[in-house]
Structure 1
Amino acid sequence: MAMDTQAGHRQQRRKQRTRDAIQDAALTLFAGRGYRVTTMNAIAEAADVAPRTVTFHFPTKADLLFGADPFTRESLEARLNSRAEGESTLAALRDWMVATMLELSSEAPEAQRRVWRRRALRAQVIGSDDELRARARAGYYPYEQLIAAHLADDLGLPADALVPRLAAATSVTGLRELYQTHEVESSDAAESTDALIALVDQVLAFAEAGIETTR
Structure 2
Amino acid sequence: MTESGLRERKKARTRQAIRDAAVELFLTRGYHVTTISDIAERAEISDRTFFSYFPSKESVLFADLEPAFNRLEELLEAPARTAGALETMRSWLGGDLLAENSSPELDALIDDLLAADARPVEAKGLEFMARIQDTLTRAIAKDLDCADTDAMPAIVASAAIAALYRATRHADGTLIRSDEFTLAQFDRALDFIRGGLGGIAGQHSNSIDPRP
Pair in the same fold by TM > 0.5 = yes
2:140 is aligned to 151
- Quick one: distance in 2 between partners of 1:160 and 1:127? 37
Contact 1:149 1:164 in 2 (8 A): yes
- Quick one: distance in 1 between partners of 2:74 and 2:9? 30
C-alpha RMSD of matched pairs (Å): 4.0
Question: What is the one-letter code of the residue matched to 2:21?
Answer: I
- Quick one: distance in 2 between partners of 1:51 and 1:90? 43
Which aligned pairs between 1:54-93 and structure 2 lie closer than 5 A? 57-68=53-64, 69-73=66-70, 75-80=71-76, 81=78, 82-84=80-82, 87-93=83-89
1:199 is aligned to 185
Q: Which runs of 4+ in 1 moved over 6 A?
A: 7-13
**Larger proportion of helix:** 1
After superposition, the Cα gap between the structure-2 partners of 1:8 and 1:165, relative to the gap in structure 1 and judged at 3 Å, is closer
After superposition, the Cα gap between the structure-2 partners of 1:23 and 1:169, relative to the gap in structure 1 and judged at 3 Å, is farther
Contact 1:149 1:159 in 2 (8 A): no
Q: Secondary structure at the match of 2:143?
A: helix
Report the CA distance between 1:150 and its aligned residue.
1.9
Contact 2:68 2:96 in 1 (8 A): yes
Q: Structure 1 vs Structure 2: percent identity of aligned residues?
A: 21
Which aligned pairs between 1:35-184 and structure 2 lie closer than 5 A? 35=32, 37-43=33-39, 52=47, 57-68=53-64, 69-73=66-70, 75-80=71-76, 81=78, 82-84=80-82, 87-101=83-97, 103-104=99-100, 112=101, 114=103, 116-129=104-117, 131-132=119-120, 133-181=122-170
1:25 is aligned to 24
- Quick one: distance in 1 between partners of 2:102 and 2:62? 18
1:108 is aligned to none
Question: What is the one-letter code of the residue matched to 1:131?
Answer: R
- Quick one: distance in 1 between partners of 2:55 and 2:7? 24
1:167-207 Cα distance to aligned partner (Å, 9 max, x none): 10121233234444359947xx52x4323322332343343
Contact 1:153 1:159 in 2 (8 A): no
Question: Bigger shift: 154-163 or 168-177?
Answer: 154-163
> Which consecutive unaligned segments of at least 5 residues does structure 2 have?
202-212
Q: Secondary structure at the match of 1:70?
A: helix
Q: Secondary structure at the match of 2:164?
A: helix
> Which consecutive unaligned segments of at least 5 residues does structure 1 have?
105-111
After superposition, the Cα gap between the structure-2 partners of 1:58 and 1:88, relative to the gap in structure 1 and judged at 3 Å, is closer
- Quick one: distance in 1 between partners of 2:132 and 2:12? 31
After superposition, the Cα gap between the structure-2 partners of 1:20 and 1:38, relative to the gap in structure 1 and judged at 3 Å, is closer
